[in-house]
Structure 1
Amino acid sequence: MTRTLPTRTTHVLLDLDGTLTDSAPGIVASLRAGFADAGFAVPSDEVLRTFVGPPLGASMARVGLAGADAEAAIAAYRRDFEARGMFDNSVFPGITDALTELREAGATLLVATAKPENYARQIVEHFGLDAYLARGLDGVHGADPEAVHETAGKEVVVERALATAVALGAERGQVVMVGDREHDVHAAAHHGLPTVGVAWGYAEPGELEAAGAAAVAATPAELRKLLTS
């Protein structure tokens, strides 16, 4: 079901991977190392790229790993990610300009990501993105790092980010999710929120539209216009 954008957006929940930052190089490299170190066959880079964004447990299940096997692969991945993959990453061109303009237009910005919150905060701080967020690093909402088997964690993250938005004065009808994958759209819809999809992330062609995104922005500048017009 497609939800329409509010006539006035006051609070924006931003995905991280594929929306604010191009994190695929580091994630894919660390996944490749993690599968090998844990003794599992390494999926193709094309398959590993689909891991960027969704809850990690769900992605492991899609390649046939569950239970102790998934836990071992995730632990090996995280060791490599912490050592070298986390900052093999960059902010997408135009993002900081869009965030600046959204703030100047009066929007309150928060992060809602399926990435473990401890990693998300380090990345946001590393790239200085906390300067654009309400409450700084406390405006970053991520997954529980201990929930290694989590398959539907984005709904929980959006719930916490939405609660922060409401505490900051938001009305539900004025909150919008921004993300690059279908799970962003579905998690937002679970809480009655519309999503603006972004075309520069990791979605397959047509994925965001099929999931019910209210609109899809081709560029960060277009995203800003959609949220402030």
Structure 2
Amino acid sequence: MTDLRLAIWDVDGTIVDSRETIHNVMVEAFRQSGLVPPEYDDTRRIVGLSLHEACAQLAPGASAEDIERLVTDYRNTWVRARARPDFHQPLYEGALETLEALRDEGWLIGMATGKTRAGIASLFKLHQLEHFFDTIWCADDGPGKPHPHMVQQAMSALGVAPGASLMIGDAIHDIAMGRAAGVRTLGVSWGFGEAHELEDAGAHEVHHDFGTLNSSLRAFVPVSGVG
């Protein structure tokens, strides 16, 4: 069908404000592993990558054994963080309304996230968003960002061509993934990536609030190809 439109969303830093939590968990994992914790500016640059690759970039001098221990510590720290009664990761203001509008306007909605399935389940327990997504792809499903696998799988699962699909994300890895899959990329500047980084990564558009993002989505017309 030629009228299909697919919006593929990143989660952390795009729909959910997880900046503080992710950095705090990473810092705690490094401390448990006996490594020097990263600064926030370093953490934000690896969000979206596979956990092993992210840890390797944050600890370039660490051995393979150190990286494995760090990955385990990070996952265990996340489990403990989610179990705390005060655990909170708010939706960005306007995110829910945008998802509702897309659903009302007949869009198909996908997810392409560096989260695990367990992380997605935790998100859906915290925020009732599961019903919005027609297809969900994550770190457990194959190559992670910036490989195009998740975007390609989302399009294939729903039968939507690249020219009728969009990738929406806050990180350069989202933009690289979308570009590699041949879809239009909409960067958002309220998460982990800075506007100039998203532009340098090749984002077709960069938005600073949901108002302009919504306008762009309403104006989107599927095309035969994306440059």
TM-score range (shorter-chain normalised) is 0.7 to 0.9
Equivalent of 2:34 in 35, 39, 48: 39
Match of 2:157 in 1: 164
Matched ranges for 1:1-229 at <5 A: 10-63=5-58, 64=60, 65=62, 67-85=64-82, 87-134=87-134, 139-144=135-140, 152=145, 154-166=147-159, 170-229=160-219
Report which stretch shifted further, 78-87 or 204-213. Answer: 78-87
Bigger relative CO (Cα 8 Å, ≥ 6 apart)? 1
Unaligned runs of 5+ in 2: 220-227
- The ranges of structure 1 where at least 4 consecutive aligned residues each deviate by more than 6 angstroms after the TM superposition are none
Structure 2 letter corresponding to 1:116 = T
Aligned-pair identity in percent equals 26
Aligned mates of 1:58, 1:206 — CA distance in 2: 23
Cα pair 2:146 2:173 within 8 Å, conserved: no
SS of the residue 1:21 aligns to: coil
Across the aligned residues of Structure 1 and Structure 2, the Cα RMSD in angstroms comes to 2.3
Report which stretch shifted further, 22-31 or 66-75. Answer: 66-75
Displacement of 1:82 after TM fit?
Answer: 1.2
Change (3 A) 1:10 1:78: same
Structure 1 letter corresponding to 2:154 = A
Deviations 1:155-198 (A, max 9, x none): 322232222232xxx23210111001111111111111111111
Match of 1:5 in 2: none
- Aligned pairs, number: 213
SS of the residue 2:163 aligns to: helix
Unaligned runs of 5+ in 1: 1-7
Aligned mates of 1:93, 1:112 — CA distance in 2: 20
Aligned mates of 1:128, 1:189 — CA distance in 2: 30
Aligned mates of 1:73, 1:91 — CA distance in 2: 28
